[in-house]
Amino acid sequence: MLFKQQVLLRQKLFVLGSLAVGSLLYIVARVGSLDRLQPTCPIEGQFGDQEQIMLRALQYKRGLAHDLRKGNATKEQIRLHNMVQQLPQAIIIGVRKGGTRALLEMLNLHPAVVKASQEIHFFDNDENYAKGIEWYRKKMPFSYPYQITIEKSPAYFITEEVPERIYKMNSSIKLLIIVREPTTRAISDYTQVLEGKERKNKTYYKFEKLAIDPTTCEVNTKYKAVRTSIYTKHLERWLKYFPIEQFHIVDGDRLITEPLPELQLVEKFLNLPPRISQYNLYFNATRGFYCLRFNIVFNKCLAGSKGRIHPEVDPLVVNKLHKFFHPFNQKFYQITGRSFSWPYK
């Protein structure tokens, strides 16, 4: 008799325990769903003081955006979530080997930013440009109406036709330029080309032979890696179409060693509420670079091709390049209002 009572008691406790656990799970799920619906901050500035963006909801729904990029979402899902393909409101126009990919990926940490995953080369490629603005729009990711779409194509900065073409699309667009110390950038440019040649078992000249004209022993301005690093020459062409206030200069060297302050300056320039924090950035000692933390489960590091080891370059050539770039750098500082501690000898 006592044994039967014990069995019945255990059964009752089991049923009550199951009900309690079920109720608790329902409450947690309900509170979580309500929390995701709460708007957390307004987007101010160019998007209007009245408009609000539910940043937590945007983070939560990034899975849907992934489906859209992969073509897995239905038209009904797109309609219900009010998602569209917008022309970019900001473009990273350069500079090649300045850190454009790192900058784009880091800005993508912000829930109000969506990025084009590939370099589209619409404005610098005549064949693509001839396809028209709707072709360009369809290359953009799906986004919510109050998100900013950003693309990056570093060839834009040095291509003559691009400023006028972008101006015709949007004369008030915001333009981001990320720069590094010019000599370091030129060597990095050379290193990328060299690696490509080596993969194809092709030979390539040493950097010194390309950067210095053998007949004059002066800096070879016909060498593209050198020309690209004369930032002020390219920027002056852009200023014929856009005021300097529409440009923001990012320190690519500092983005490597201390990314958060640079990203906070970009947030301010784009009129975004501050959302990127030190939590989103962690230093990977193995790779020697900062990696990205989107949430508790999703981290991302840049591709292994980033941060290539540069070949050793003759110090006399490096010094000659420093002296060559110095007057151009001084003018660049004056135009942009931002100074850098770049060597001049």
Q: Is 63 annotated as a binding residue?
A: no
Q: Is 45 annotated as a binding residue?
A: no
Q: Is 290 annotated as a binding residue?
A: yes
Q: Is 199 annotated as a binding residue?
A: no
Q: Is 188 annotated as a binding residue?
A: yes
Catalytic residue IDs: 97
Q: Is 101 annotated as a binding residue?
A: yes
Q: Is 97 annotated as a binding residue?
A: yes
Q: Is 99 annotated as a binding residue?
A: yes
Q: What share of the chain is helix, strand, coil (3-state, %, to 5)?
A: 50, 15, 40
Q: Is 132 annotated as a binding residue?
A: no
Q: Is 180 annotated as a binding residue?
A: yes
Residue set of the binding site for 3'-phosphoadenylyl sulfate: 97-101, 180, 188, 290, 306-310
> Which residues participate in the annotated binding site?
97-101, 180, 188, 290, 306-310
